[in-house]
Structure 1
Amino acid sequence: MSVTNEAEDMAATARYRFLLIQAFRLPEDSPYRHRRIGAAREQALMNFDFVGPLLQDVDWEVHAGALTTYGDWAVETRAEFAFSAAARLPLVREACESGKYNAIVLLGGGEPGFLESCEIARPFGIPVTSCAFSQMHYATMLGNKFSVIDLAENHNMYYYNLVIQHRMADRCASIRMINFPHERPGHEVERQFHVERDKARRGEFSVAVEEAVEAAVAAIEEDGAEVITLGCSGTFWLQPILQRRLNELGWEVPVLEGYRCAITLAKSLVDMGLTASGLTFPDVRPRRWRKKKVF
């Protein structure tokens, strides 16, 4: 047997066969593209240094996402999330129809197209997980209430809707903002979040880190948070740093980020042989239907 055929056979029999799909893809010439993606899949996945260990037993691929149609900057507003959701759904359907995967992980903190992707994937028996949904559910297993650290006012309010959508309003203590919005035409910013990220990774002083620590402590002391989560996927790099800083301050509080939560939840659903409910996401013409839906 050739090496290629052996690898293909191993992939076909792997317990976990995941496709990770990015929320969007900026054009190559975008001035707002601050992360250059290499050919290797590890380079295409942000924060691979602490996400990678969870993928060691997974046969996985990562899709760069659909090219943005609203412009060449990162998604923040409701309208931009809607465009991104519509662009991602054909990728989900194609992945389901391919028969190659037994779970799909939607990357991106705002999880555009998550519910619609669950609807597409359910008839194929494929579970779909996403970052906000997974973080919130893990957070509620670890403490009474969680808070979200996020980076822009418009993104905060979009995420606020996700908290309500996932029926977590009574478990979410607060959304705390550190004001580092993405750059976009006509709104260039002096405080660039990717610059702060690079400083932190070099071990240098980072204003973003200090403000995130301050926000997390305030969420604990003032809002009643017992778990900290992160909103936009651009903030996920903060997780190990924020966890360490809170521990040093004596706060024994879990800090979660979306990628690891979504990957771990996908594994759990595959292990249990579960996907979304056919009552929550019915077929176009379901075999059984209910005359009344109650709240």
Structure 2
Amino acid sequence: MKLIRTGAEWNPLWLNHLQKNHQIGLVPTMGALHEGHLQLVRKSKQRSDLTVVSIFVNPTQFNNSEDFAKYPVTLEDDLEKLSSEGVDYVFAPEVREIYPTPTKLRFDFGDLERVLEGKFRPGHFNGVGVVVSKLFHIIKPHRAFFGQKDLQQVGIIRRLVSDLSFDLELEIVPTHREPNGLAMSSRNVRLNPVEREKALMLFKSLESAKSGLFQGKPWTEIQKQVVADFEVEPLAKLEYFDLVNPETFEAHSEFSKNRKSSICIAAYIGDVRLIDNMPLVS
């Protein structure tokens, strides 16, 4: 496994692989790797001749400076994990490599970025769009692998690839969960044991809602119950719990088995913000 810090280092390597018709898979990450990330790596290794994992904590997608400051950085541990998985290259640039000058370009993803995560994290998806575009241009992969846990981000990146005609294929890998159901996230390491137990509220709310909907309960009734459950838990603060179209993120007031839908949730547990989702009809 080779660690690369700049695009200039990567370019001759990329050209060599291009001449050999190698298919390149890219797994973009912000580090603090867990089993969910490694599932993406394994998928890339199945589908590609070589796998590049990027590790870059992107400052422009944080609308909360405290969240950025507290984001876990574990590069040495990450490199050990990736080496054990047989990754070919790790691209871990410094901020000045990705942003030699402040980026003035602004993306507007329309309605996709005005709801859910976009509503509560203004500017977040512009930062995602900029950094993902830069990674695609630098690495020039044939495929890029993302996790379903960040469902709205997946929608944003699909729009990015389509509208800017990136010549690559997106592969979306199902959310990887801990044995108790908690969605794996780099932010989980910031939870203390009590908070980790309370974080199960997200997954349990999704499961309960899915069961209720397929039993015929009205969505509004289910939503009100989840809001009430969070209101009585002092360690938790619910931001949203919505039934949406997983492609347009239009909110639904009713559930239909004949219409694509997912449930999305975001909540603070202590001072750690977590998100999760559950597909109902795909």
Q: Is TM (by shorter chain) over 0.5?
A: no
Q: Name the TM-score, length of structure 2 as normaliser.
A: 0.36
Give the strand-richer structure, 1 or 2: 2
TM-score by length of 1: 0.35
